[in-house]
Amino acid sequence: MAAAGGRSTMAAVACLALLLGAVCAVDRSNFKTCDQSSFCKRQRNVKPGHSPYRALLDSLQLSQDSMKIQLVNEASKVPLLLEFYGLKGNMTRIRINELNPLKPRYEVPDVLVGDPPTTRLSVMGRDDNSVELSLGEGTHKLILTAKPFRMDLLEGRDLILSVNSRGLLVFEHLRLKKDSFSDKVSSTVVSMWDRIKNLFSREASKEPASEAEGAAEPSEESSLPTEQESAESEKTEEAFKEADEAEEEPGSWEETFKTHTDSKINGPTSVGLDFSLPGVENVYGIPEHAENLRLRTTEGGDPYRLYNLDVFQYELYNPMALYGSVPVLLAHNAQRTLGIFWLNAAETWVDITSNTAGKTLFGKMLDYMHGGGETPQTDVRWMSESGIIDAFLLLGPSPKDIFRQYGSLTGTQALPPLFALAYHQSRWNYNDEDDVSTVDSGFDEHDIPYDVIWLDIEHADGKRYFTWDPNKFPHPREMLQRLAAKRRKMVSIVDPHIKVDSGFRVHNEIRSRDFYTKTKDGSDYEGWCWPGSAGYPDFTNPEMRAWWSSMFAYDQYEGSMENLYTWNDMNEPSVFNGPEVTMHKDAVHKGGWEHRDIHNLYGFYVQMATALGQVQRSGGVERPFVLTRAFFAGSQRYGAVWTGDNAAEWDHLKISIPMCLSLGLVGISFCGADVGGFFKSPEPELLVRWYQVGAYQPFFRAHAHVDTIRREPWLFGEENKALIRDAIRERYALLPFWYTAFYHSYRTGQPVMRPLWVEYPQDATTFSIDDQYLLGDALLVHPVTAQGARGVQVYLPGKGEVWYDARTHQKLHAPQTLYLTVTMSSIPVYQRGGSIVARKERVRRSSDCMQNDPYTLYVALGPQGTAKGDLFVDDGHTFNFETKGRYLHRRFSFSGNTLTASSADPKGSYETSAWIERVVILGAGKPAAVFLKQVGVAETRLDFTHEAETSVLTLRKPAVNIAADWSISLR
């Protein structure tokens, strides 16, 4: 839920937060533009041109796995250290820091899963102004030019990426504040004079001893400045020089936005760097923005902003920051895909420019025909408020290579428990235990499956998380047991703001352990959120995270059980009376780091600690489920995200598709949007269409604001109830396919929900499509997202390929764009020729009830009469698949009129009574007979039916266990 809403009990909070009514849009004035962010404005004032930085080739140091070289700003003379690494898997890493900073600068921890393994670098050539390096065993090489400093990355003779080619490297070094200059000079002079006096007094004290006891050699340690003292002296001299000469710009040491003043004890510390991508016109990623999949250029407007914020009822199609930030950008053309991972957790802005921006297709064709067209190029400029430059270049060359490379750095999507992929029912708020029971029973009465019911903030005692309201939820364990008896689950909200109340055990423990984030003055940081005055635990502190994890133990979280899971909301963090509705940047975390350094990590750490708490409560056996609103690179390791507080509007329905596609491209596959829209009340048509969309998105949850009408699926008339039921049942039938797709994502980093260009990287038609998408590599989905739609335009990609309508089984040849007539029951889905998809068509009230139910295999024959697919099966909830090898990974293959089943991974084994009930072969002729063969069993004949009009062959009851090897022959 957003920092907004109509509650009389929260009137004081609402005033402090300048909250709006539930029918208003975002108040942009509450959030900064680039011009109002002093470092963004300073960096944007640096225009492309010759870089003031020069590489000192004489300082170059080359080891087997890295190159180190000093850079110097010829204006300020401050030296930087550039480190360049070749990484295994076709990646490189660039780090730039001050050579001798006055104090350490923040470097992001915990996001990388380990130190990336390196490859060998070697010098291929060198002259007075450049050096050429080869990277590993491949064909990539790096040319570093000294003056002006730039780096060019080539594959063979092709330039694929340049660094600082536009001269936009900015590194604001740590310095001393001008107004304290004379004081620091005085103290330093006194310190140096004291040191001189001490030196002479020591020498004088030794003279009498030398006469009586023999002369002693003076100690070098006691008489000469140490290397550390010399380095500190050099740093101080550099800082004095800078303080004396530099002209400080407004906002460098203190910045005011609206009523909030941000004091900057370290002064201006921003960093920035530009990357040029020749031959590229299409870039994607850097979520979270309510934006098209393909990113626009930012000339003439604000850059894309990455700064986790609680944005009330966000606007669409603009670069404003939202709840999460993943600083990863993908660049794609028909020849290759590249990625840039900017590892920085501070406020970040990303400018995108292109030399083809604004040109029409006709204009580009004219350029080509006249031979005067320049090579397309996209330039990307990253600007962060603090930290260091730490950038990974993912060199592909294919989209799937990029996902594998990024997954090797930050981890892959955690394999969720199976129930988490089913349908979730939520609202702010289900009122009490009776309300929960009524809603739960309503799904059974109306024959609609669901797995999880959710409780929002009203379930807790006065917004004290880890508690239950004693009047509304007096018997939480009994409530959970009733759900468990139906094999269903519950999710309760646990937000990271803690009510300041001396009678609240959680608050008292955090305060006694000194785990709260601090103000710049050292007191506990407090802000306003749902409980009123609240403290904010310092989740950057590992000890705090460990304590938070321990709170999910069954004896700590009173009333909790194995079927209770967690929702982390408001973890940007949201502070109603803070600047931009978040924490003050000069708040202080463990180690003395300012909040400005770590801001985008806060939600990442909250989800991390919560997920680990769920794992620990089961003794490391059970997989967790945690939904988070704020996120960062690496959040995919800990659970799911959703697109935040959307609205019941058709445009919000449409935007959910590119928003989730963008997240999938940067590792976060477990994404969804509030079905029906959080704010406002949807008309029945919109609600039905949203269920149809949500059923084909990874995270499928209906959720609504407290001020909206109740929206349980049976409240909108029989016809609409039936349509919603059908959409939910389609989801349940496809759960084996979803689960297998998530297993692949866990193993390889491939997105579950993916843009068409990922599978068809050379098809330029797909590069800008974001109203349809692929699930895995087998299903193409084009949801209906327009009001009153009578048809949709569907593009079927793949030269020479075929697709089958999943409902009618009509065979269609690709590539083509077709107009499909739709009704209210239509969910346009196509199965790719050459694929095999497993379904469970006996839909029951929850996914757990379907565990041992039989499978149906849908075999869609490709142009050559072949197909392949797979299925992952385990217990659906533990880590046993990983720790004990208890799983099945089955491979299905159709070739030469024979369908075979075999093990795709002999390392796994799992006993199940689930069997194959039916095989449906799309695009097949009518055989004379069909035979089933198993090892050690006599060949048996199978019954079948054939529909000549659609060429669909249905094989009845092979009745083989899903774990068995077998073959079915068409004769």
Residues 6+ apart with CB under 8 A from 840: 732, 733, 735, 736, 850, 853, 854, 855, 856
Q: CB count, 10 Å around CB of 375?
A: 10
Straight-line distance from the first to the last Cα atom of the chain, in angstroms, rounded to the nearest whole number:
59
Residues 6+ apart with CB under 8 A from 127: none
Amino acid at 197: K
CA gap 966, 555 in Å, rounded: 49
CA gap 350, 330 in Å, rounded: 13
- Assess whether 777 carries a catalytic annotation: no
Cα angle, residue 44 at apex, residues 41 and 48 outer, rounded to 5° = 160
CA gap 913, 911 in Å, rounded: 7
Residue 136 DSSP one-character state: T
User: HEC string of 391-432?
Assistant: EEEECCCCHHHHHHHHHHHHCCCCCCCHHHHCEEECCCCCCC
| Cα separation values, 637 from 289, 604, 609, 662, 743, Å | 21, 10, 12, 17, 13
- The per-residue b/e assignment along 209-234, b for 16 or more CB within 10 angstroms, e otherwise, is eeeeeeeeeeeeeeeeeeeeeeeeee
According to the model, what pLDDT value does residue 24 have? 56
According to the model, what pLDDT value does residue 373 have? 64
According to the model, what pLDDT value does residue 372 have? 54
Residue 452 DSSP one-character state: E
Report long-range pairs for 814-817 (Cβ below 8 Å, ≥24 apart): 815/763, 815/765, 817/793
Active-site position among 456, 469, 569, 586:
569
CA gap 684, 691 in Å, rounded: 11
CA gap 66, 424 in Å, rounded: 49
CA gap 571, 1 in Å, rounded: 11
CA gap 294, 282 in Å, rounded: 6
According to the model, what pLDDT value does residue 586 have? 98
Residue 296 DSSP one-character state: P
CA gap 659, 641 in Å, rounded: 11
According to the model, what pLDDT value does residue 629 have? 98
Q: What is the mean pLDDT of each run of 10 residues along the chain (971 residues)?
A: 43 39 70 98 95 97 94 96 97 98 98 96 96 90 97 96 98 87 44 43 38 34 41 45 53 96 97 98 98 97 98 94 98 98 99 79 49 83 98 98 98 98 98 98 98 98 98 98 98 98 98 98 98 98 98 98 98 98 98 98 99 98 98 98 98 98 98 98 98 99 98 98 98 99 98 98 98 98 98 98 98 98 98 98 98 98 98 98 98 98 98 98 98 95 98 98 98 96
CA gap 579, 573 in Å, rounded: 11
Active-site position among 645, 763, 848, 874:
645
Residues 6+ apart with CB under 8 A from 189: none
- Assess whether 115 carries a catalytic annotation: no
CA gap 296, 299 in Å, rounded: 9
Which residue carries 């990484």 as its tokens? 87
Query: Burial, 827: exposed, middle or buried (Cβ in 10 Å; 0-12, 13-18, 19+)?
Result: buried
Q: What does the block give as tokens for 425?
A: 């029912």
Q: What does the block give as tokens for 956?
A: 């009845």
CA gap 15, 9 in Å, rounded: 12
Tens-place pLDDT, residues 867-910? 999 999 999 999 999 999 999 999 999 999 999 999 999 999 99
Q: What does the block give as tokens for 930?
A: 């069909």
Distance from the Cα of residue 79 to its chain's centroid: 35
Helices (H), 3-86: 11-17, 38-44
CA gap 883, 850 in Å, rounded: 25
- Provide φ and ψ at 565, rounded to 5°: -120, -175
Query: Burial, 35: exposed, middle or buried (Cβ in 10 Å; 0-12, 13-18, 19+)?
Result: exposed
According to the model, what pLDDT value does residue 760 have? 98
Residue 193 DSSP one-character state: H
Amino acid at 749: G
Of 430, 419, 447, residue with least CA distance to 700: 419
Distance from the Cα of residue 262 to its chain's centroid: 28
Strand order in the sheet with 532-535: 498-499, 532-535, 526-529
Q: CB count, 10 Å around CB of 249?
A: 13
According to the model, what pLDDT value does residue 465 have? 98
Helices (H), 19-70: 38-44
According to the model, what pLDDT value does residue 180 have? 53
| Cα separation values, 705 from 25, 429, 785, Å | 15, 8, 22
What angle do helix axes 181-213 and 227-245 make, rounded to 10 degrees?
A: 160
